[in-house]
Structure 1
Amino acid sequence: MIRGRSQGTAPAVLSVLDLATVGAGLTATDALRTTAELARLADRRGFHRFWVAEHHSMPGVASTSPAVILGHLTGQTERIRLGSGGVMLPNHQPLVIAEQFGTLEALAPGRIDLGLGRAPGTDGATAAALRRGRADGADAFPQQLAELIRFLDDDFPDDHPYAAIHAVPGPVQGRVAGGVQPADRPPVWLLGSSGFSAELAGRLGLPFAFAHHFSAANTVPALDLYRRSFRPSDALDAPYAMIGVSALAADDEREAQRQVLTGALAMVRLRTGRPGLIPSPEEAASHPFSPVETEIVDGWLANVVHGTPDAVREGLNDLAKRTGADELMITSNAHTPAARLRSYELIADAYALPR
């Protein structure tokens, strides 16, 4: 069964979501080194999971290939669960995902999660380039999901066209002569920002992760739908809901505001069709925001829990209470690697997580 572990004084299990963000004046190498450093910090400080996201054609985000990054992180960590938040299933063939995450499970047995989303993680043109003319897209998500789970479990019916196809590493290696491979495979999570995946996760008895950090107005309705739709399964006997939340702690309020404004300006540029690197705090502070841009910034910052460690703790506690989430997956997006790392240290301290 999927359950998080108790952590310090936190009202819900605490985890980390990382996008390997690339700041102005920094490289993708810098970003990915920071991701590895952050994974080690999260492992050391007792966060429960460390997930990386899949995004494409965005200069400020280097997490285009979760399986590649996770493969690196298996050698950088010891205890923390590693996973995708998420792999965008319509962009990939189910067999390929099953092989990738079977490989990850072999590298870090019992520590891998497979989070799946139905959005492209990019714009329509890039999605078309990824899918090479396939027309199924998000509409075929339930069928793709069922196929992927069959590959992970290696249990296609005998009369299925794929019955003789096996995802390797995987359960088939434990069934052939001399095989000792355990049948364990990564738990599957559904991710979403609307009701579709919430209802599907409930009907299938899967854990559900909601993108509160960019769809806050839908959080409570989606979680309510998930819980109403839930049917017990081999994976879960009761609903388990996680929400992604943007949060950034700093030693003082002014520094926190300075850092979160960089992410707000990056969001302004993304939403107005000008995606780029994450601007520096100096660039963000001097930017002449138009009325339209100010509206985007205000809406974005309203859903970012930021400030001193005590203020962030209070904000996260309130969010856990309002949503009833079992787990909070924190993403701290800022230009400066040191600021991001410091944020997680401060949040860990605020909740008395182990050192």
Structure 2
Amino acid sequence: MNPVPNSGNAPFALSVLDNAHTAIGQSVQEAFQEVINLAQLSERRGYHRFWMSEHHSMPAAATASPQLMLARLIGETSKIRLGAGGVMLPNHAPLVIAEHFGMLEALAPGRIDLGVGRAPGTDQMTAAALRRHHEANDHFPAQVDELVGFLNDDFPAGHRYSNVHAVPGPWQAEQNRVPDSVSIPDVWILGSSPYSAQLAGQLGRPYAFALQFGDADVSQAMDLYRRSFRPSQYLDEPYSLMSIGVVADDDAEEAYRQALTAAMAMLRMLKRQSYSLLPPEEVEAYTGSLQEKYILESYIRRFVNGTPADVAAVLEEYHRQAQIDEIMLVTMGQSRQAHARTVDLMADHYGLPEL
């Protein structure tokens, strides 16, 4: 892994994840331009990496293919690391992902991260349309091994894929007699459970824990990751990242209103309605049942919101408890301006070095 840069006054490295949220009244073209703007802002404000996620059949999340968006972002940025957080590997053939990210790495050497997860990133019917069978998760470790084999072109002799090569990659560079010209993207294991933590440790890979998806015990997962870690050719010591939904604003009430729109989107999804980001006024006017209000409040507590100092206090407590190396801000809210404010204000709070 590349060294982590100066993180200002933060006790951890800081990064950003964008789900390419498209709110009610916003076109996907507008949302994609805002993604580009946020990546450029994140780079300018000194964040370490900028990741995109994979979701399907969700009107408020427009990145079915994070690698396509990353290809555009390579030309729109120059220094910040770019990555998928992540590619849902059982949705894809490992060879195709190795080729896609080999191309990205060739376009931006030393700047590409490939985070892989085993969840579908969608509902069961859409997962079926992706040709994902019900046992897909069971084969995730083997799929990771296959992906890494294609990326490194190091299947052992006799392996059924020993004569199959991802291009671009080491094999092509060797054939063209420029073996020193190739680099490999950093592969991360993503998850939100003890299973993924243990797998990342056993593989000697960096681990990203997605706290925005649930209320699992991040401290327990990180402890299990460190105890399971085996040094590898990729990583000498454990390296951990936690992603968490964040809305920061000088006005704590406005931060709460924006976080509430994300909570409502989650409630709608639980009710098997479309995952949509409604305007704050419409969300505030919603009169739900006691159970629905409880669900909304539970998500509000999970999505850190408030002034920059409020947000920082929560992040630093997670860092203290779980000893996380890096925290990735999952920008949230119906307003894309709220996403940019969060990135700006947290950079100001921690004195990140402007580039």
Q: Contact 2:193 / 2:216 at 8 angstroms: preserved in 1?
A: no
* CA deviation after TM superposition for structure 1 residue 179, in Å: 3.0
Q: Contact 1:17 / 1:50 at 8 angstroms: preserved in 2?
A: yes
Matched residue, 1:236: 235
- Find the aligned partners of 1:177 and 1:289 in 2 and give their Cα distance: 64
Q: In structure 1, the residue corresponding to 2:211 is in which secondary structure?
A: coil
Q: Contact 1:173 / 1:181 at 8 angstroms: preserved in 2?
A: no
Confirm or deny that 1:47 pairs with 2:47.
yes
Matched residue, 1:261: 260
Matched residue, 2:324: 325
How do residues 127-166 of structure 1 correspond to structure 2 at under 5 angstroms?
Answer: 127-131=127-131, 134=133, 136-166=135-165
Q: In structure 2, the residue corresponding to 1:141 is in which secondary structure?
A: helix
Q: CA RMSD in A?
A: 1.3
Give the TM-score normalised by the residue count of structure 2: 0.97
* CA deviation after TM superposition for structure 1 residue 43, in Å: 0.6
- The alpha-carbon distance between structure 1 residues 283 and 102, as it changes in their structure 2 partners (threshold 3 A), is same
Letter of the 1:80 counterpart: I
Matched residue, 1:60: 60
Confirm or deny that 1:295 pairs with 2:294.
yes
- Find the aligned partners of 2:294 and 2:227 in 1 and give their Cα distance: 35
- Find the aligned partners of 1:135 and 1:114 in 2 and give their Cα distance: 24
Q: Contact 2:268 / 2:276 at 8 angstroms: preserved in 1?
A: no
Q: Contact 2:170 / 2:179 at 8 angstroms: preserved in 1?
A: no
Between stretches 144-153 and 160-169, larger displacement belongs to 160-169
- The alpha-carbon distance between structure 1 residues 260 and 168, as it changes in their structure 2 partners (threshold 3 A), is same
Letter of the 1:191 counterpart: L
Confirm or deny that 1:206 pairs with 2:205.
yes
Letter of the 2:50 counterpart: F
User: For each residue in 1:146-190, what CA deviation from the matched residue of structure 2 results, as whole angstroms up to 9, or x when unmatched?
Assistant: 111000001112222211211011111221144355242001100
- Find the aligned partners of 1:29 and 1:231 in 2 and give their Cα distance: 44
Give the TM-score normalised by the residue count of structure 1: 0.97
* CA deviation after TM superposition for structure 1 residue 323, in Å: 1.4
* CA deviation after TM superposition for structure 1 residue 128, in Å: 1.2
* CA deviation after TM superposition for structure 1 residue 115, in Å: 0.2
Letter of the 1:55 counterpart: H
Matched residue, 1:22: 22
Letter of the 1:64 counterpart: A
User: For each residue in 1:224-270, what CA deviation from the matched residue of structure 2 results, as whole angstroms up to 9, or x when unmatched?
Assistant: 11111011111111111100111111121111111111111111101
What are the ranges of 5 or more consecutive residues in structure 2 without an aligned counterpart? none
Letter of the 1:302 counterpart: R
- Find the aligned partners of 1:322 and 1:185 in 2 and give their Cα distance: 33
Q: In structure 1, the residue corresponding to 2:244 is in which secondary structure?
A: strand
- Find the aligned partners of 1:158 and 1:135 in 2 and give their Cα distance: 32
* CA deviation after TM superposition for structure 1 residue 3, in Å: 4.1
Q: Contact 1:262 / 1:280 at 8 angstroms: preserved in 2?
A: yes
* CA deviation after TM superposition for structure 1 residue 343, in Å: 1.3
Confirm or deny that 1:70 pairs with 2:70.
yes
Q: Contact 1:2 / 1:235 at 8 angstroms: preserved in 2?
A: no
How do residues 181-196 of structure 1 correspond to structure 2 at under 5 angstroms?
Answer: 182-196=181-195
Letter of the 2:138 counterpart: D
Matched residue, 2:108: 108
Matched residue, 2:38: 38
Q: Contact 2:22 / 2:61 at 8 angstroms: preserved in 1?
A: yes
Letter of the 2:204 counterpart: G
Q: Contact 1:259 / 1:339 at 8 angstroms: preserved in 2?
A: yes
Question: How many matched pairs?
Answer: 354
What are the ranges of 5 or more consecutive residues in structure 1 without an aligned counterpart? none
Q: Contact 1:262 / 1:335 at 8 angstroms: preserved in 2?
A: yes
Q: Contact 1:92 / 1:131 at 8 angstroms: preserved in 2?
A: no
- Find the aligned partners of 1:135 and 1:244 in 2 and give their Cα distance: 27
Letter of the 1:199 counterpart: Q
Letter of the 1:45 counterpart: R
Letter of the 2:47 counterpart: F
Between stretches 180-189 and 246-255, larger displacement belongs to 180-189
User: For each residue in 1:196-227, what CA deviation from the matched residue of structure 2 results, as whole angstroms up to 9, or x when unmatched?
Assistant: 11111101110000011222332111111111
Matched residue, 2:273: 274
Between stretches 218-227 and 341-350, larger displacement belongs to 218-227
Q: Contact 1:4 / 1:48 at 8 angstroms: preserved in 2?
A: yes
Letter of the 2:122 counterpart: T
Q: In structure 2, the residue corresponding to 1:75 is in which secondary structure?
A: helix
* CA deviation after TM superposition for structure 1 residue 136, in Å: 4.4
Between stretches 301-310 and 97-106, larger displacement belongs to 301-310
- The alpha-carbon distance between structure 1 residues 283 and 135, as it changes in their structure 2 partners (threshold 3 A), is closer
Letter of the 1:78 counterpart: S
